[in-house]
Structure 1
């Protein structure tokens, strides 16, 4: 009963492995992606990388930390 699904999965895995190894040609993402954007950059050397200061990082969420309290004002509804 499970013979055919296992055989199909085995053939699909072999085909995927062969495709990843490049038997059918290079992958579409093997080349540069949108190289025209790199050629149109005006002054790429003007870009500077700088560390984030504590003041700039204050509004960044902490992964694994508690969720921040939402600044919402609540009041009782009139009856």
Structure 2
């Protein structure tokens, strides 16, 4: 009984090794399967970096501090 289990495990390991080595064809991660995604990627050379202005930095959360309160004007409701 144990001999059959060892033989089956050995064959399963050999099958997995053959699959990893590419006997059954290339792995899915080996090439481009969806070339339209590559054509839609952002090119790094077309990006521009600019510093943030004070107005843009005002609504950014600061790590380690409480969240800023929203500037909401409240008034009493009339009935």
Q: Which residue of 2 is the match for residue 13 of structure 1?
A: 13
The DSSP-based 3-state class of the residue aligned with 1:17 is helix
Q: 1:47 to 1:5 in 2, by over 3 A?
A: farther
Distance in 1, Cα, partners of 2:13 & 2:48: 44
Unaligned runs of 5+ in 2: 50-60, 65-79
TM-score by length of 1: 0.50
Report the number of matched residues: 52
Which whole-Å deviations, capped at 9, do the CAs of 1:8-28 have from their partners, x for residues lacking one? 000000011011111111112
- Greater fraction of residues in helix: 2
Q: Which runs of 4+ in 1 moved over 6 A?
A: none
Unaligned runs of 5+ in 1: 49-55, 60-79
Displacement of 1:31 in angstroms is 0.6
Q: 1:33 to 1:11 in 2, by over 3 A?
A: same
Q: 1:4 to 1:39 in 2, by over 3 A?
A: same
Aligned alpha-carbon RMSD (Å)? 2.8
Larger of the two Rg values belongs to structure: 2
Distance in 2, Cα, partners of 1:44 & 1:6: 52
Displacement of 1:33 in angstroms is 5.0
